[in-house]
Amino acid sequence: MAIDQTLRLLARARGLSVSDIATAIPRAGVATVNAWLKGDKLPGQDQLDALARTFGVPAGALLAELASSLDPARTPGEHDLLAAYRALNTRQQGALLEVARAMAGHPSPRKRGTPRKGGARRKG
């Protein structure tokens, strides 16, 4: 989840308005907090720490998506693929993973209780 979505969810869950958040964060006015919530700006480190304290969560929880989006090993295509994957329902995600594994030549993980080659099931 992107940091702006995380901040909006936390604000809603804690019942905090934009002005409540702005008051709790040093050097952050209402316009700045609105920009964070819209995804137009990112808070600085001091502001992230203050946001984490305000919401009662670890700062890492706010940064998890941001850190993964800045991973230099990811290509733009991977970001697009991840966004598309997250928009699918669970069944569609499973089907997409099956197709991707097959295309990459990776075996699909066998589900528990599925027959082994020859149709015999393992006891136990």
The CATH code for residues 3-70 is 1.10.260.40
Residue of 40, 39, 17, 36 lying closest to 28 (CA atoms):
36
Rounded to 5 degrees, what are φ and ψ at 112?
A: -60, 135
Domain assignments of the chain as residue spans, ordered by start: 3-70, 72-108
Q: pLDDT tens digits for 3-20?
A: 888 889 889 989 999 999
Q: What is the DSSP letter of 15?
A: T
Q: pLDDT tens digits for 48-78?
A: 899 999 988 888 878 765 555 555 566 777 7
**Distance from C-alpha of 21 to C-alpha of 35, rounded to nearest angstrom:** 12
**Both ends of the chain: CA-CA distance in Å?**
40
- Give the pTM: 0.53
**Distance from C-alpha of 35 to C-alpha of 25, rounded to nearest angstrom:** 14
